[in-house]
Amino acid sequence: MNCQLKERPVCRLAGDTGLIVEFGEEIDLDINQKVRTMAAAVNHIKPDGLIEIIPTYRSLLFIYDPVQIQPKNLIALIEELESTIDTGGEHDVRLIEIPVCYGGEFGPDMENVKASSKLDTDEVIRLHSQPEYPIYMVGFTPGFPFLGGLDERLFTPRLTTPRLVVPAGSVGIANNQTGMYPIESPGGWQIIGRTPLTLFAPKRKNPFLYKAGDNIKFIPISQDQFEQIKQEENM
């Protein structure tokens, strides 16, 4: 299914140290997979002067040092890689399980989602915890995953007035997206549950539990299990 992929990527300048290479114009698993394959291939080559590659839904943002490398060199590299590597094949995808205690004090907007979907709590939980959600991109705050594949029946618009404080670990829905708040921050997503896991631990060797390209599955847990895991996390 490569029909959405463009013949040639679109390149855009982002100032004098950034280059955006777009592989498509929509949120789509194939396009996103191509983005990640290309990111991995470029990271493998690590051309001098390339400071960082940031994968997005449908593009790559290259941050470069113009003293060492020019956008035209990066574009040439991408074109060369496009003709030599297979970006459409099957890939090993890591599945990351995230325990979530739904509803109650951890899910203050469960009622909104129930009202909007005309489903009961159990059905909302079942539909939300069933899919393996692909992580398209990580951003907004450290470790915030933008997930695809939310069941249509759960689509719920953002809160009309965003909260000033959403607790760390909160799991929410915004229109056709679902995601988690790794750190306490303001936010307008409909919060339906919370994970006891520490999603962003700056002092941990790997501060994050997942990256773009992994899949996430939510595992419903009870409040007791929540407290137990939370305690283990804090040890």
Partner 1 sequence: MDAIKIIAPGGYSTIQDRGRFEFQNMGVPLSGVLDHFAFDAANILVGNPDNTPVMELTVMGPSIEIHKRMDIALTGAKMGITVNTMPVAQWRSIRVNPGDMISIGQVQAGCRAYLAVSGGFDVPQVMGSFSTYAGANIGGFKGRPIRAKDVLKTGDAPLLKTERVLPQKDIPIHPTHVTLRAILGPQDDYFDSGIHTLFTSEYMVTAKADRMGYRLMGETIPIRDGKPKSIISEPSIPGSIQVPADEQPIILLVEQTVGGYAKIATIISSDLGRVAQTTPGDMIRFEKIDLETAHSLIYEEKNKLKRIQKYFIP
Provide, rounded to whole angstroms, the least separation between the CB of residue 15 and partner 1. 3
Burial class of residue 75, CB neighbours in 10 A (0-12, 13-18, 19+): middle
Question: Is the CB of 52 or the CB of 232 nearer to partner 1?
Answer: 52
Q: Confirm or reject binding of residue 142 to partner 1 (CB under 8 A).
A: yes
Q: Confirm or reject binding of residue 212 to partner 1 (CB under 8 A).
A: yes
One residue of 58, 78, 128, 216 binding partner 1 per CB under 8 A: 58
One residue of 41, 54, 96, 159 binding partner 1 per CB under 8 A: 54
Q: Confirm or reject binding of residue 17 to partner 1 (CB under 8 A).
A: yes
- Which residues within the stretch 177-196 sit at the binding site for partner 1 (CB under 8 A)? 183, 185
Question: Is the CB of 185 or the CB of 225 nearer to partner 1?
Answer: 185
Among 3, 66, 59, smallest CA distance to 34 is for 59
- Which residues within the stretch 73-132 sit at the binding site for partner 1 (CB under 8 A)? none
